[in-house]
Amino acid sequence: MSQDTTAPGSPGGPVVEDVTVERTESVAVVQPGLFARLGAEVFGTFFLVLAIVGVAMWARFFNGNLVLSVAFAGGVALLAAIAAVGHVSGGHFNPAVTLGAAIGGRTAWRDVLPYWLAQVVGAVLAGLVLLATIPRSSLEVLQQNTLIDEATTAALFRTTANGFDAHSPLASTFAAAGVEVTVGLAAALLVEVVATAVLVGVILGVTDNRTRSTIAPIAIGLALAALLLIAAPFTNASLNPARSTVSAVFGGDWALSQLWLFWAAPLLGAAIAGLFYRAFAFAPAQDDLLGEDQLVTTEEVDVEEPVASPTGATAGAATAAGTTAAPAVTERSEVVEEVETPRTGLPAAEGDDDTQAPKA
């Protein structure tokens, strides 16, 4: 009995059939859960407030340039925090940013209050750490050098608080020179609203899906540093209600009574930025400020294994033996993103063909 050694494709040999069978494997990937995102917000806000309030508090011990030091520390801390956990929560670390993102359609309204709570908790934890590290023996020295008005930890925290009228840094600086300068409520409100609106506008713009920017953390950190330098002489630069809350709660007295402005003004500025973004540069209604939803990409790998199909006598022998030729197999791994999309009720972005408007 002879063995058929005719090569496939040669005259009289087996014929290769072009048959493809797709094998699909779905891998579900979900957005980080709420607790993971809240934990990231606690950490990021803790780091940011620790840097800003801590530098503002301790730089006076060394006669440093407070404004420049605080602006640099705030910008670098925000940059580092975004780079570290921005992919988890979106890198808000600021109640004003969360509100602006919600109004602009970039985060879910159901996440606003939990994010605010996480941010305040992170800020208060930073305040507790700073409170525990204050050397009590140094407070009298600071009072003797007129750097604080009384030898208490509350007085030291008040030097980092945001204020207006007589408690504006400009007013106190000129008062030492015998000149009366007042930064009133309207001026403080205007500075905080404009500065926060610019900050939130930069964040929404540089993280838009269409920009494809790879330097978003750097741009946001530098924007914060520049805006702190601008606003610091007027109000000691809040731009972040969580940061203001720490100095006011631990400082008490006038700082606590003026805290309302440093919640109202940043939130108003963020709302303006969110409305402008929604009106002129609206992107898909999804909180993806720093790519936390872009977890995987779809990849397809085709592997073809052609198997010869016998003909003629060979085919008959194969049939008699009870065997059939196996078709070529294409293995395709299909990755399916299951992203938790906020139900904001906002219209779909242009070009999103598979999204329909809700029916009345």
Q: What percent of the chain has pLDDT over 90?
A: 49
Q: If we measure between CA atoms, which residue out of 295, 287, 291, 245 comes closest to residue 99?
A: 287
On the question of pLDDT at 197 being above 50, the answer is yes
Contact (Cβ atoms closer than 8 angstroms) between residue 192 and residue 238: yes
On the question of pLDDT at 124 being above 60, the answer is yes
User: Which of 24-28, 181-185, 218-222 holds the top average pLDDT?
Assistant: 218-222
On the question of pLDDT at 333 being above 70, the answer is no
Q: Check: CATH 1.20.1080.10 for 34-280? A: yes
- Cα dist. 252→38, 59, 153, 161, 192 in Å? 28, 21, 10, 10, 21
Model pLDDT, residue 338: 42
Model pLDDT, residue 323: 47
On the question of pLDDT at 99 being above 60, the answer is yes
* Of 176 and 348, the one with more pLDDT: 176
Model pLDDT, residue 6: 53
CATH 1.20.1080.10 boundaries in the chain: 34-280
Name residues whose C-beta falls within 8 Å of residue 3's C-beta, 6 or more positions apart in sequence: none
Tell me the two tokens of residue 254: 């006038």
Model pLDDT, residue 337: 44
On the question of pLDDT at 40 being above 60, the answer is yes
Name residues whose C-beta falls within 8 Å of residue 263's C-beta, 6 or more positions apart in sequence: 95, 241, 244, 245
Tell how far CA 134 is from the center of its chain.
31
Model pLDDT, residue 187: 93
CA angle 109/114/115 to nearest 5° reads 85
Name residues whose C-beta falls within 8 Å of residue 11's C-beta, 6 or more positions apart in sequence: none
Tell me the two tokens of residue 17: 């059939």
Contact (Cβ atoms closer than 8 angstroms) between residue 207 and residue 288: yes
Model pLDDT, residue 82: 95
Contact (Cβ atoms closer than 8 angstroms) between residue 191 and residue 231: yes
Report how far residue 290's alpha carbon sits from residue 218's, in angstroms, rounded to the nearest whole number.
12
Report how far residue 222's alpha carbon sits from residue 74's, in angstroms, rounded to the nearest whole number.
9
351: pLDDT confidence band, cut at 50, 70 and 90?
A: very low
Query: What is the DSSP code (8-state) at residue 110?
Result: G
Q: If we measure between CA atoms, which residue out of 276, 206, 235, 210 comes closest to residue 70?
A: 235
Model pLDDT, residue 281: 74
Model pLDDT, residue 100: 96
| Least confident span in 194-208, 257-271, 288-302 | 288-302
280: pLDDT confidence band, cut at 50, 70 and 90?
A: confident
DSSP letters of 215-269? -HHHHHHHHHHHHHHHHHHHHS--S-HHHHHHHHHHH-THHHHTTTHHHHHHHHH
Mean pLDDT of the chain: 78
Model pLDDT, residue 190: 96
Residue 25's beta-bridge partner residues?
Answer: 333
